[in-house]
Structure 1
Amino acid sequence: MNYGFVRIATAIPGVKVGDCKYNAQQIESLIIQAEGKGVEIICFPELSITAYTCGDLFAQQLLLDEAEMCLISILDFTRSLDIISIIGLPVAYHGTLLNCAAVIQKGKILGLIPKTYLPNYKEFYEQRWFTSGDVHGNSNVLICGQMVPLSRHLVFNTPSCCFGVEICEDVWAPIPPSSELVLQGAEIIFNLSADNEGVGKQDYLKALLAQQSARCLAGYVFSGAGFGESTQDVVFAGKALIYENGVLLAENERFSFKEQLVYSEIDVECLRAERRVNTTFSASVARLKSHDVIQIDTELFASKNIELSRKVNPMPFVPAGKALNGRCEEIFAIQIAGLAKRLVHTQTQTVVIGISGGLDSTLALLVCTKTFDKLGLSRKGIVGVTMPGFGTTNRTYTNAVNLMKSLGVTLREISIKKACIQHFEDLNFDMANHNVTYENAQARERTQILMDVANQMNGMVVGTGDLSELALGWATYNGDHMSMYGVNASIPKTLVKHLVKWVADSVIDESSQATLLDIVDTPISPELIPADEDGNISQKTEDLVGPYELHDFFLYYTLRFGFRPSKIFYLTQYAFAGKYTDETIKKWLTTFFRRFFSQQFKRSCLPDGPKVGSCSLSPRGDWRMPSDASATAWVDECNNL
């Protein structure tokens, strides 16, 4: 598929214990369904050809012969299919019986992976029949008329990904085979399982698989035995789970009496980007003692253009549902802790902050008030300065004043109009020309006031600019770009709004709540251009640079994974389907990369500020780019979309 997405599937067939022919037919049915849906690799449960619960029937030669004959049938069935299938069966070898996964494609067995860890406790007694694959090391076995490599160290290379296989109990071991397989190149791990049910076990298993996929920076695909297995002592409900780096992409309905096929797309390009950035991963590769991996190349298969079935979150910085409140609470606490440390270290009991009535300054003011509360300092030490200018509207001015009064901070009002008029006269500048000089002079005048008030009161200027503004360079150099500590520096605009609303709903007193909710609903604007005839905001930021929800989406995938513009465009089409046209997305994506590169010089001299999430533009931390780097390749790709 395009852009590193690989469609994979986990299947739960109905089985009959010991009836290999029936089981093979169910497997073939699901393979053909998956092939029709564009699946590249499909995984079946442990011992799916015989069923897992055969017990002492595994010692019967007839059952073993039937399993091999049915595998031949499946091989013949898949001879003209591109799809790779991973199927479980018992394999007799050198006087032992191995619990194996057979990887097959186009009529060939590419490899056999034996189970390493055989549970022999409580309801499990696999060592009664099977031998660990460790006994034979790397071997070759004659099966179905083919000489096939047999090893737990097999890694399979397809045109789109690299994968490895482990079986059930293997992932429960302290050091699972998958931990070694990923260090040997595997990007997706398939687990053939016969995990039985028990109260609370499902949640434990999901936590285990999420953790393993995250630790391995890998995709993890789990297929567990379902309906038809013996219920003599235990019950198998069928478990189909697909993870990508700790995130659950898809799962099935447990306790279904019907066969199930669950599929999704794993972003292998994303996993590769994570591994390149994570130096601990590469260091672990260097420390790997076992290098006896066998690389197996699969057959080529036709490229397929398939629409993504997985969801693409249009708000990657903003968690959905109940998780949002927890995220807001944690971020707010990080901001408070960062500012508190800076105040204690500098022995400062006064902070100065410019209050515009907008989202960013509101959030910064809320952080200041809660920080002072936690430190036992009087809120009067917070000096909020409102600085009306040529574009200030009555709505934002009133909200700024009302908020400062309700929060009990020190309020100062210093108009910038006279100072700016004098400055324009000194420059011999025509004030009717509302260009960048007109706008930036106001921003710098406000910053000068804040700095001088801080000196006057022996205080510290707290910055209000956010991550989205820094990415776009939507700040005046040495104006609102500068402060002594920027509490919002790594918070994107789409999240700032939710943070302010969360404070309004859960943290703040009722006297401030109405003002905060109105601030949330106010259009985003620097208010540097005079209001319209009705006194409303005439300069709306998103009309000028584009919707922040788009820019935050672009920013996330640029910083977090290093995706190229064409892939970001591809993802944006899915995330915002029906909301923005392709031309609109292309326009603002081009704007984003052009501004992102050209405005780096502002980010190269940012004040300190706390990192709160996975993305930051601090030149001392997450983002170190020369200010004169060329944007040509990125902008050209945008133009060619």
Structure 2
Amino acid sequence: MRDFVRVATACPKGRVADPEYNLEQMLILARKAEEEKVSLLVYPELCLTSYTAMDMIYQRSLLEAGEKALISFCEQTKEMDVLFVIGYGLLLEGKLFNTGVVTYHGDILGIVPKQFIPNHAEFYERRYFQEGKEEVRFIPNILKGEGYRKEIPFGASLHFVREEDQRFRLAVEICEDLWVPVPPSSKHALAGATLLANCSASDELVGKRGSRRRLLEHYSGNLHASYLYSSAGPSESTQDMVFSAHCLISENGRILKENQPFEEGIFWADVNLALLEGERMRQSTYFVKEEPSYTQYFSMKDKQYTLHRFVSPCPFLPKSVEKEGDRAREILSIQSRGLKKRMEHVGCKKLILGLSGGLDSTLALFVCLETFALLGYDKENILCITMPSFGTSKKTHDSAEKLAKALGISLWEISIEKAVLQHFSDIEHDGEKKDIVYENAQARERTQILMDLANKEGALLVGTGDLSELALGFATYNGDHMSMYGVNGDIPKTAIPMLLREFARKSGNQELETVVEEIIATPVSPELLPPDATGEISQRTEDVVGPYLLQDFFLYQHLRYGFSARNIYDLACFAFSKENLANKENERTIPEFSPAEILKNLKTFYKRFFGNQFKRSCLPDGPKVGRVALSPRGDLRMASDACAESWLSELAELEA
């Protein structure tokens, strides 16, 4: 996929002070990287000579053997389309530097020195090495002969950038550089680097592995970058320390790959460059500064491969099913706190909502109950109205009644059939014609009743519409689209079952749990068209807008990261593929979707998303809950007359 780059960290087997053997082991992993279509491979600190060579690093024989091994590595990787970062002890002008050498197609692109030299506890590197400087200067090339440059850049502020995709921007730091209060990687990221490589030799201590992991999660998330960490392994000397070969790849606060303790080898992951770019664009406090860096460009061909990572088909849900309860309680708490504040502000002690027996109104009712519990109000002041009409099925009508009974709440039934028929007569509409007027007249009649009852009772009308419906415009303008406070406006359809189940589970009410499962199993429908001959729901929302699984996936990628239409299509094809769904990280039963189904529904998404912004431009107030939101006063500033053509044209190219 064009927005991803496959990167790897490696810890080869090795011997202390034996560059020739270490070279052989490094080449084994380099060949493996080439086989796996890796674009960037990072080796540990001082991997050619070994980190624990100690005073032997002063010996000319070892230094020359290390240089010979580096030259040989370059010669033997000329045909490999992989960018390598190699930990190397460089003798320059009579002084030693602990460096990362960046090579590509057998050429040295540049050398990055370690800036912070530790001399505390078990580390005494100042005995050997000089501190590197940020400023880039040019030094004699280690590689001699025809075809090689005479001089190469040397300095800590070096960046290595792929010409064909400048989102691939690499910066290097060495071990201790990461642990200081303001790491060089922070400056690198602010200068545009998206890939941060660390050649390390970090010994293993009790609890240190977790500290490294948390550090990488923090920095990659804070810097909106991918951090590649490759540490020396158990082949190092164990005279005073043990090294565990800790290899990590993180992306935007998430660990993509981590090896087992003391596991040597190569470990790769696919980094989403579009995600990193999107995060940086959106964060207004993320300033890209013009740092004094030298940029070395290189040209690399695109590589075709199947993604080597799990892409969640349900991005609005926690990755682990085990965490659904915690997530649900957090969401319900935000919703109820928002409603509580609004009730206190207007001095209102009653709530009113339309209860249809569907997912959205059930969730809204649960939020009302949570709010009343916070306020200490009697739930008899939650006024639930069910308003059956031409499309109401027995199933949803029964569900509304069972729900009210299980919760001990009174339910007021007001049939709207007479009022709607009178309205049809007034506007000279043939009630037999099942058109948009037929449907929307019912939705608006319900809203009128609820608004008027709210005025009559001195109550606040709670809106039930959810994020998915608002994104697709599947709401009647000035009908169910309108309320006095919308508690579900930031809740996607795919997350609602999780919330309902947690509320029911927490209640300890078996009757309620049973009703909730019945509601979840009912097809999503506005029920504005008559049931079929058997009395079952004939109008199914997903027949019109497509599966909510897909539409929520599209919505998340579109708004959360601003991915291109092509990128979302590619991601969806992989996310809903048999291969991805079989990944051990997937804990849910999710159906597969074909590329044709995905393309069809993605077109629907863009058409409806752009075509219905006018409804979102005048949404009632409601709490923001997640990172994806549609409120015109919050996250989404969008013109009601924006066009979808650019996105649809991109998809049209897939069919050409």
TM bracket (short chain): over 0.9
Stretch moving more, 400-409 or 626-635 = 400-409
Distance in 1 (CA, whole Å) between partners of 2:564 and 2:327 is 28
1:76-475 residue pairs with structure 2 within 5 A?
76-134=75-133, 137-142=135-140, 143-145=142-144, 146-158=150-162, 159-160=164-165, 161-256=168-263, 259-282=264-287, 285-286=288-289, 291-298=291-298, 300-321=299-320, 322-475=322-475
**8 Å contact kept, 1:501–1:520:** no
Q: Secondary structure of 2:123's match?
A: coil
Post-superposition shift, 1:22? Answer: 0.4
**8 Å contact kept, 1:213–1:243:** yes
**8 Å contact kept, 1:590–1:639:** no
Distance in 2 (CA, whole Å) between partners of 1:623 and 1:367 is 24
Post-superposition shift, 1:379? Answer: 0.6
1:608 matched to 2:621: yes
In structure 2, what residue type is equivalent to 1:280? T
In structure 2, what residue type is equivalent to 1:112? I
Residues 152 and 580 (structure 1), Cα distance of their counterparts in 2 relative to 1, 3 Å cut: same
Distance in 1 (CA, whole Å) between partners of 2:79 and 2:532 is 69
In structure 2, what residue type is equivalent to 1:196? D
Distance in 2 (CA, whole Å) between partners of 1:577 and 1:180 is 39
1:57 matched to 2:56: yes
Residues 238 and 507 (structure 1), Cα distance of their counterparts in 2 relative to 1, 3 Å cut: farther
Post-superposition shift, 1:325? Answer: 2.0
Post-superposition shift, 1:507? Answer: 3.9
Distance in 2 (CA, whole Å) between partners of 1:329 and 1:260 is 42
Post-superposition shift, 1:372? Answer: 0.3
Q: Secondary structure of 2:553's match?
A: helix
Distance in 2 (CA, whole Å) between partners of 1:521 and 1:118 is 62
Residues 597 and 508 (structure 1), Cα distance of their counterparts in 2 relative to 1, 3 Å cut: farther
Percent of aligned positions that are identical: 46
In structure 2, what residue type is equivalent to 1:191? N
Measured against aligned partners, the alpha-carbon deviations of 1:165-186 in whole angstroms (never above 9, x if no partner) come to 0111111111000000111121
**8 Å contact kept, 1:24–1:74:** yes
Q: Secondary structure of 2:17's match?
A: coil
Distance in 1 (CA, whole Å) between partners of 2:507 and 2:194 is 44
Residue 632 of structure 2: aligned partner: 619
In structure 1, what residue type is equivalent to 2:547? P
In structure 1, what residue type is equivalent to 2:214? A
Residue segments in structure 1 that go unaligned for 5+ positions in a row: none
Measured against aligned partners, the alpha-carbon deviations of 1:145-171 in whole angstroms (never above 9, x if no partner) come to 352211110011113311100111111
In structure 1, what residue type is equivalent to 2:130? T
1:527-546 residue pairs with structure 2 within 5 A?
527-546=527-546
**8 Å contact kept, 1:369–1:407:** no
Distance in 2 (CA, whole Å) between partners of 1:51 and 1:82 is 26
Residue 501 of structure 1: aligned partner: 501
Q: Secondary structure of 1:616's match?
A: coil
Root-mean-square deviation (Å): 1.4
Q: Secondary structure of 1:261's match?
A: strand
**8 Å contact kept, 1:616–1:622:** yes
Post-superposition shift, 1:420? Answer: 0.8
**8 Å contact kept, 2:312–2:319:** no
Post-superposition shift, 1:137? Answer: 4.0
**8 Å contact kept, 2:501–2:516:** yes
Measured against aligned partners, the alpha-carbon deviations of 1:1-56 in whole angstroms (never above 9, x if no partner) come to x3321111111100100000000111111111111211111100111101111111
Q: Secondary structure of 2:285's match?
A: helix
Q: TM-score, normalization: structure 1? A: 0.96
Q: Secondary structure of 1:102's match?
A: strand
Residue 585 of structure 2: aligned partner: none
Distance in 2 (CA, whole Å) between partners of 1:195 and 1:435 is 70
Q: Secondary structure of 1:307's match?
A: coil
Stretch moving more, 447-456 or 535-544 = 535-544
Measured against aligned partners, the alpha-carbon deviations of 1:191-211 in whole angstroms (never above 9, x if no partner) come to 111111122211111111010
Stretch moving more, 263-272 or 468-477 = 263-272
In structure 2, what residue type is equivalent to 1:615? V
1:565 matched to 2:561: no
Q: Secondary structure of 1:3's match?
A: coil
**8 Å contact kept, 1:467–1:616:** yes
Distance in 2 (CA, whole Å) between partners of 1:508 and 1:451 is 33
Post-superposition shift, 1:514? Answer: 1.5
Post-superposition shift, 1:57? Answer: 1.2
Post-superposition shift, 1:508? Answer: 5.2
**8 Å contact kept, 2:135–2:293:** no
In structure 1, what residue type is equivalent to 2:224? L
Distance in 2 (CA, whole Å) between partners of 1:553 and 1:547 is 10
Stretch moving more, 464-473 or 304-313 = 304-313
Distance in 1 (CA, whole Å) between partners of 2:609 and 2:542 is 16
Residue 583 of structure 2: aligned partner: none
Distance in 1 (CA, whole Å) between partners of 2:511 and 2:596 is 45
Q: TM-score, normalization: structure 2? A: 0.94
Distance in 1 (CA, whole Å) between partners of 2:268 and 2:603 is 34
Residue segments in structure 2 that go unaligned for 5+ positions in a row: 145-149, 579-591
